[in-house]
Structure 1
Amino acid sequence: MRKALAPVALMLALQCSVAQAGEVVLQPTTVQDLKAVFGQVQSRDTVPARARIGGVLLSRSVDEGTAVKAGQVIATVGDEKLALQLQAVDARIKALQAQLENAKADLERSQALIARGAETQSRLDQLRTAANVLTNQIAASQADRAVIVQQTTEGQVLAPKDGRVLTVPTVPGSVIMPGETVARIAAGGYYLRLALPERHAAHIKAGDPVSVGGRGPGAEAQGGPRRQGKIVKVYPELEGGRVIADAEVDGLGDFFVGERVPVWIPVATRQALAVPADAVQTREGVDYVRVAAEGGAIDVPVVLGPAQDGRVEILSGLRAGDRVVTP
């Protein structure tokens, strides 16, 4: 038997009564029509990994497609001025420490002299104040040094979330400005973005099931399994005469972001007739179904529709009440 036409997924429940052994009486049943569209794989979040300081991109440990973890170092930015500033602060701290040692020595001598009455109180206070000022200057310089060390540490570009690297617009050796993007990361999982003609806007809603076909050309002809999912959001604004919806489908992690795959969505209901698949015979390119009649069974040519769950829809050739002979 030839394969069914392009799938318009049917929830066919063949409502038929048994007339005698090997025969079924056709009765119409309500089925759902599925609209075939293409869905585009999107990431829930696309976050940039940005440089926190300016300088030269010294190294990069990721490329397009690399999986990363939150907090992972993916690149290093270096600024030669930071090393020079750190040397200047260290030198200033050493000079202040030397001045502080002299101030403390002068203060100790002044305290010894004032005990013998050979020094004034005002002179002692001046020396004590000078020592305190130098101590505070050293503390301020150490704080400046900590800032420079922190800036050096911020030269490491970190991945903001778990995900997969989409693009890396910079290369090692290029000049980086603060806040410039070093890599774009797809994070937060994946979903399908669907666009349907606006005439279907009134028929789709959150919670509707969807069926996702295989990847690549010819996947449907090969008869591979479909992925099942559901619509989670229908956007209230039309774009270019189309209603936009998002669908969640398991197993999209191995897809490319932006990849297009066939999707079938229920959009309407109708009445249909269906027969068991083994009741159809194909001879010389024509499909036949054997129907019981007075005087014996006859082969009736039919036009077939979609097939699912072992049943095939009959588009023309049979009518309700016909007794179909099954093997």
Structure 2
Amino acid sequence: MLTALASALLQVSATATFTVEAETVIDEKAVFATVESVDVVSARARIGGVIGELRVDEGDLVAAGDIIAVVVDDRLAPQIGAANSTTAALNAQLEQAQSDLARAQNLFDRGIFAQARLDEAQTAVDVLENQIASARQERAVLVQQSREGDVLAPTAGRILEVPVTAGSVVLPGESIAAVASDLFVLRLMLPERHARSISEGDAIRVDGSALTGNVAPTGFIRQVYPRIEDGRVIADAVVDGLGDYFVGERVRVLVGVEQRLAYRIPIAFLETRYGVDYVRVREGENGTQDVVVQIGEADGDMIEILAGLAAGDVLVRP
């Protein structure tokens, strides 16, 4: 019982004083950042034609390789049909040439057919076989062009814009949809005087009033762009959970821009009388003196002292 009481008294005496020391404080600047996608890419048509089917709308989530739309070129179907007919005609001619070659070979083996005539029959078969192979390749090209009517999502993400509708006429290379990749960042714009104060890896804090869903309260600067535009430096910050925000939505964040030395003390050592703030400073062995101080911003249980104290001062709890 005595041991527990002695420990409690020692703990009380240990917390009844506080030694003032200078510590590094990071000054934060509040700025508005916009939610942006790291990459916004266009899903483009590979062939010209008419959009026969449109499978997405603004806001839809897509995976890389998903079919966004189908472009139909009405000229390809007749061309494929013509290639099929050409191949069929050449196959019929090849069958006839092979029959002629077989008869010529029989007559040649019996010694009543000239070698030159046999060579002509063999050449006719070879020519038709090559023509059939060429026709099949031409058909394969047309079939591949028809398959390229499928407009594929170039990356996984969210559809931001679909500037066309089903039935629209499109040209090769025309944009069908804009896809924002699934990596979202906060794009900051700071005055150029802070350009030397921020760097990659610096921490940022998201304003508590802006926190929604699963967004994290803190993040870090991912990239600082080397170009200053309109007197502002642009930086991207990574914060988990931004996928629940709208692209372009503004969020208030706090960015550390300067470091300085400051004195901070526990709020419990501060006493306010008639609107004036005092702390009790130890003097000598047992003496104390109330000193007027100027306070700054509070952070949890600590408060910054702007004037009135010096490093090494020992405070006594009032």
The amino acid that maps onto 2:300 is D
Q: Which of 17, 25, 35 lines up with 1:31 in the alignment? A: 25
Q: How many positions carry a matched residue from both structures?
A: 300
> Secondary structure in 2 aligned to 1:132?
helix
Q: 1:56 to 1:304 in 2, by over 3 A?
A: farther
Query: How far apart are the structure 2 equivalents of 1:288 and 1:65?
Result: 57
Farther-moved stretch of structure 1 (50-59 vs 197-206): 197-206
How far apart are residue 297 of structure 1 and its match? 11
Quick check: 25-34 or 71-80, which moved more?
A: 25-34
1:30–1:239: structure 2 CA closer, same or farther, 3 Å change rule? same
Q: Of 73, 94, 104, which residue of structure 1 is paired with 2:88?
A: 94
Q: Which position in structure 2 is the counterpart of 1:64? A: 58
**1:270 partnered with 2:260:** yes
Aligned residue type for 2:40: T
Q: Does 1:241 align with 2:231?
A: yes
**Change beyond 3 A, Cα 1:278–1:181:** farther
**Residues 324/31 of structure 1: CA separation in 2 closer, same or farther (3 Å cut):** farther
Distance 1:288 1:249 in 2: 42
- CA distance in structure 2 between the partners assigned to 1:69 and 1:287 by the alignment: 62
Residue number in structure 2 paired with 1:306: 297
Q: What is aligned with 2:150? A: 156
Change in Cα spacing, 1:130 to 1:277, as seen in structure 2 (3 Å) is same
106, 112, 128: which one aligns with 1:118: 112
| Amino acid of the structure 1 residue aligned with 2:238 | E
Give the letter for the 2:52 counterpart. Answer: L
Q: CA deviation at 1:204?
A: 1.7
Q: Distance in 2 between matches of 1:74 and 1:200?
A: 43
- Is residue 230 of structure 1 aligned with residue 220 of structure 2? yes
Whether contact under 8 Å (1:292, 1:324) holds in the other structure is: yes
Relative to 1, partners in 2 of residues 1:98 and 1:281: Cα closer, same or farther, differing over 3 Å?
farther
**Could you report, residue by residue, the CA deviation over 1:233-256 in whole angstroms, capped at 9, with x for unpaired residues?**
323332221222222222222222
Amino acid at match of 1:254: D
Q: Does 1:253 align with 2:243?
A: yes
1:136 maps to which residue? 130
Aligned to 1:81: 75
**Structure 2 residue identity aligned to 1:137:** Q
Q: Whose helix fraction is larger, Structure 1's or Structure 2's?
A: 2
TM-score by length of 1: 0.78
Question: Which of 206, 209, 219 lines up with 1:212 in the alignment?
Answer: 206
Q: 1:231–1:247: 8 Å Cα contact kept in structure 2?
A: yes
Q: Is the 8 A contact 2:215 2:242 kept in 1?
A: no
Aligned partner letter, 2:68 = I
The unaligned stretches of length 5 or more in structure 1 are: 1-17
| 8 Å CA contact 2:210, 2:252 repeated in 1 | no
Question: Is the CA contact 1:289–1:324 (under 8 Å) kept in the aligned structure 2?
Answer: no
Deviation at 1:290, TM superposition (A): 6.2
Q: Is the 8 A contact 1:55 1:79 kept in 2?
A: yes
